[in-house]
Structure 1
């Protein structure tokens, strides 16, 4: 067995041991080679269950957190998903195996362009990557069945809540950017929104405007 194959098996074991139990999510993560999304000096740590730095001062999330967020999102094969914070494109690649269509937005054009390149190389055709201010969402494609936010907001962003269809789910880290945040799941109902606290997490803050690449 090659190092990569063994390392990837160990990563899947780590995912299960940290609570990622959904069979579809585990399959999607097994089909998504994290090593393709980690470049430079951290490439040899791609299969460890830890966040790693990427360009523009951002991070590629810890795989178990990617798995737990994907699991919490409860994506079906018919769903249209919006992701805020493309980063490396790793989370979008995982979602591509779970959803019908994924739109992912990053405020850093450099990251969006790099993610497009990797996703194209994987022949992933159901993901659209956009360089834009994700705090406004993507109104022209709304409503969305699922919304995933990979940056922390003080409160679930109003523009994103408004783009969630009734019955839809949003998973978002909430809290002050310099403290541990709480991952919450928001379900839109006929009369409002239901909130569930999931677990403590730590993400970069959700920032308005475009990045300076």
Structure 2
């Protein structure tokens, strides 16, 4: 599979743990996903494999080799070789949510934790701008739960491994209908609508993001 599928799917923590364990290195991706040492036990990995097989998201071929469904192959490609991450935290007085953008060489995907240790995983189309996907998630939450704030924290995988603090920017919605963007350097911009605020944030994200906002074409 070439890892270019863009189907959204729900996956369990055990399934993601199995995919992570099938690569040559896990890096810090498990921690960003909220997966710990308990998710790397043989029992959990076996459960993840069994779940993928039962859901027909993987199939055994040639003895012990596995062939993944296109969407799962895309997820695995992103998990194994990330170039960078954007963490999106969403908070309001009585609600919280979030998503993680994982950017690899030829695949970007949004991963959002859900109830019962499940995750919504959405690989982005090669031509899609990852900033649009991030802002769409923030837009929905900020309109529904105002006053609310969206925090964008971007880092390269290498910097995250070294413990370098990610760059942060925020977009917030106020009860009076106004919007505010605070960039990494602390500069504040107030806007009367979401679109105006999003324009400012898009420019800041272009500077912050550790990988291009659109996937790079495959090399021939």
Shorter-chain TM-score: what band? Answer: 0.3 to 0.5
- Structure with higher RCO (Cα < 8 A, 6+ apart): 2
Structure in which a larger fraction of residues adopt strand: 2
Point out the structure with max Rg over C-alpha: 2
TM-score (norm 2): 0.33
